[in-house]
A = this chain, B = another copy of it.
Amino acid sequence: MKTFDNVPALYAQLEEISSRAKAIAFDPLLREPLSQVLDSVFSVSGKQLRPALLLLFGRAGSCYPDCEEQLLTAGAVVELTHMASLIHDDIVDDSPTRRGRPTLHSRFGKDMAVYSGDYLLSHVLSQLMRQDMLEPGRVLAQSISNMCSGELGQYASQFDVQTDENRYFMNISGKTAALFSAACQMGALISGCSQQAVSFADRFGHSFGMIYQLRDDLIDCIPNSDADGKKQGMDFINGVYTLPVIYSFKDAEHGPQLRALARKAPSMDPIELSSELYNHISAAGGIDYTHWAMKQHRARALSSIAQLPSVQLRGQLTALLDEIMA
């Protein structure tokens, strides 16, 4: 992992956040079968981007480093929220794998998946109460609500070849960017930043999350770009039309062909599908347009942190941004 090499101190803090997340989830009253399910959840490790952003903004205010304790717990809470959302997303996706490994619901059934997610959320709630984190808790609660709206909005647009960019951006803003934004705001709040700096953190996190999702959606369209053990073209097959596709739907030549492809996608050979999909959207400019949208959000992210006083922090955030753009 090289993601946080520009802030090496993050590695130890993220390690500690992992331990805390585990300690919170594996409470002393935990019994089978939940402990087995959680073992499986914790065995898949992500990049911890959300807690990393929380930690970075947690250095922006005057309470740092006194607030480190709270930052570490808040980081664990954000990571547990993310885990709960992944577990619930998997039920909905019916994905057999996530990050190249079997999903919880495919291994343990959807009963386990529903309640494991809820169980983690109950511990998120409990920790926020225990630590008196009222304001960060409000921010987190709002982001969970936005995540649900975004996911449901996406569901409502499924298989709709008339869907548009606005709906797409609204949906990914909820389902993905909301939690990034919450993580940044929570860090800023806990470290005692001004209201203005908290709103910078909000905007930075939003743009960061948008880029993160745009990149993920792009990867799904480009054959052999598979880094996470995910098959390409799955969004398209599942009727989740992402920016490269939505843009290309409007193309005079490739639009009608893409819509025809959408109709026959579920019955096609996935490799053939993914290659045809790529040919259409790259010819229609959907790939370039998505890159352009990512750059727009990068510019917005940078402008939102331009007024942060710490040159070092700005550099670290910019480096992380460029890391996920790559």
A contact residues vs B (CB 8 Å cutoff): 27, 29-34, 37, 85, 88, 91-92, 109-112, 114-119, 121-126, 128-130, 132, 134-135, 137-138, 140-142, 144-145, 147-149, 151-153, 155-156
* Contact (A125, B128) CB under 8 Å given A114-B88, A145-B27, A148-B116: yes
Contacts of A140 in B (CB 8 A): 125
Q: Cβ of A122 and Cβ of B134 under 8 Å apart?
A: no
Contacts of A109 in B (CB 8 A): 155
User: In this complex, what residue of B is CB-closest to A115?
Assistant: B148
Since A92-B115, A134-B134 are in contact, a sample of 4 more A-B pairs with Cβ atoms closer than 8 Å, ordered by chain A residue number, is: A112-B152, A117-B118, A121-B144, A122-B141
* Contact (A118, B91) CB under 8 Å given A110-B110, A138-B130, A151-B111: no
26 chain-A/chain-B pairs, Cβ below 8 angstroms: A31-B153, A33-B152, A33-B155, A34-B149, A34-B152, A37-B152, A88-B114, A91-B91, A91-B110, A92-B114, A112-B155, A115-B148, A115-B151, A115-B152, A115-B155, A117-B118, A118-B144, A119-B144, A121-B144, A122-B144, A122-B148, A123-B141, A124-B125, A125-B141, A126-B138, A129-B138
Contacts of A117 in B (CB 8 A): 118
Q: Cβ of B148 and Cβ of A118 under 8 Å apart?
A: yes
Identify whether the interface residues of A are mostly helix, strand, loop, or mixed.
helix
Q: Cβ of A129 and Cβ of B134 under 8 Å apart?
A: yes
Q: Which 9 A-B residue pairings sit nearest by Cβ, starting from the closest?
A: A126-B141, A122-B144, A119-B148, A125-B141, A122-B145, A115-B148, A129-B137, A92-B111, A129-B138
Contacts of A144 in B (CB 8 A): 118-119, 121-122, 125
Q: Cβ of B129 and Cβ of A141 under 8 Å apart?
A: yes
**Interchain CB contact (< 8 A) of A118 among B34, B121, B134:** B121
Per the bound structure, the CA–CA distance linking A144 and B27 in Å amounts to 14
Per the bound structure, the CA–CA distance linking A32 and B167 in Å amounts to 12
Contacts of A149 in B (CB 8 A): 29-31, 34, 119
User: In this complex, what residue of B is CB-closest to A125?
Assistant: B141
Per the bound structure, the CA–CA distance linking A298 and B109 in Å amounts to 37
Contacts of A88 in B (CB 8 A): 114-115, 118
**Interchain CB contact (< 8 A) of A125 among B137, B153, B155:** B137
Shortest beta-carbon distance from A129 to chain B in Å: 4
Shortest beta-carbon distance from A57 to chain B in Å: 20
Per the bound structure, the CA–CA distance linking A129 and B143 in Å amounts to 14
Shortest beta-carbon distance from A323 to chain B in Å: 30
User: In this complex, what residue of B is CB-closest to A140?
Assistant: B125
Per the bound structure, the CA–CA distance linking A304 and B147 in Å amounts to 42
Per the bound structure, the CA–CA distance linking A125 and B84 in Å amounts to 15
Per the bound structure, the CA–CA distance linking A149 and B34 in Å amounts to 7
Per the bound structure, the CA–CA distance linking A304 and B126 in Å amounts to 27
Shortest beta-carbon distance from A117 to chain B in Å: 8
Counting chain B CB atoms within 10 Å of each CB, which of A27, A30, A125, A155 scores highest? A125
Contacts of A31 in B (CB 8 A): 149, 153
Q: Cβ of B111 and Cβ of A123 under 8 Å apart?
A: no
